[in-house]
Amino acid sequence: MRNKIVFIVAAAAIAASWIGNYAYSRACRLPEAGFLRHYIETTTVPSVAFDLLYVANNDDKLKPINVQIDELPELRFYPVYVHQQMHRQTIYVLRGYYDENAMTKRKEEAEPLRLHTVRVFYNDGSVKEENVGEIVVHREAWPMDPSEDSLVDMMAGGSSSNGEGWNVIKAKQPVRLTGVSSVWLEKLGDALQFELKPNPSAYPMELSKGEMLSLNYTFKPSRQGADALNVYNVQLKMNFEGQSGEKDDYIVFAHDVPYPSEAEMRAYVREKRREAE
């Protein structure tokens, strides 16, 4: 009888442990895979366009293999690759680029596009419209006018994986910096900070020929809950004006891509599970 009681107690303990492990494992799973929330600003010139990040549970079989946007027939994507693999989830990247051979001809700049969804092709043959956040597309005239010359030259630049970067430019002639602009500055607020060196004076700022100026930026976004894995791809445009009134925008590409800790990923999963309830 005693042996039977011991067996029952042991079985109950094993069952309780199994149930506990199952419940914990389930709580650590995303309710469904999906694209992260992106804040993207891009310009249609032949180059790398932007990255789209997708997060899934490690044992999910369904994966994106391509993306299309009807309004951007020149947009192509490289094969998907792993951005970060974690204990229970993996973040994948689809990197887009504008194919010069497929560029749409425009005699003048067109109104920017604002896109929220993209058509996604998956490895099981299915196709879905997926929300990716917001993409603002500046559509330049194409082909570009070869007679147009820039007012400044890039001298150096760099960025880091923690959301910081810098660019140094040199004036090719006397110029005036009238401002720094981006479609995302107002929305991001203090989440994106930048400064000009060595002269952080108010606009307009006069630069003599050969004078150099550095723009340094730092992302300080919220990394909690559903915002923990937001992706930022911002164009900081340094607005220059020449002596004859000609205008030229020098673009600093400011990026902040998430590399979440295990704790941040667990918080993101909890928020997604709460949203799915």
* pLDDT value, residue 147: 76
Q: Which residue shows structure tokens 């810098």? A: 166
What does the block give as tokens for 28?
């650590």
- Position 213 pLDDT exceeds 70: yes
Under 8 Å between Cβ of 211 and 177 = no
| Rg, the chain, Cα only | 24
pLDDT at 20 over 80: no
Would the pLDDT of 17 be above 60? no
Give the per-residue pLDDT at 228.
Answer: 81
Is 111 within 8 Å of 139 (Cβ atoms)?
yes
Higher pLDDT, 100 or 15: 100
More confident residue, 18 or 164: 164
**Position 34 pLDDT exceeds 90:** yes
Question: In CATH, what number does 149-277 get?
Answer: 2.60.40.10
Does residue 2 surpass a pLDDT of 90? no
Report pLDDT for 203. 84
Q: What is the CATH number of domain 32-136?
A: 2.60.40
Sign of CA dihedral 47, 250, 159, 55: negative
Mean pLDDT of 79-91: 97
Spatial distance between the Cα atoms of 231 and 66, rounded to a whole number of angstroms: 19
The domain limits of the chain are 1-30, 32-136, 149-277
Distance CA 44, CA 135 (A): 12
Q: Is the pLDDT reported for residue 240 higher than 80?
A: yes
Mean pLDDT computed over every residue of the chain: 90
Question: What value does the mean pLDDT take over residues 158-179?
Answer: 95
**% of the chain residues with pLDDT over 70:** 90
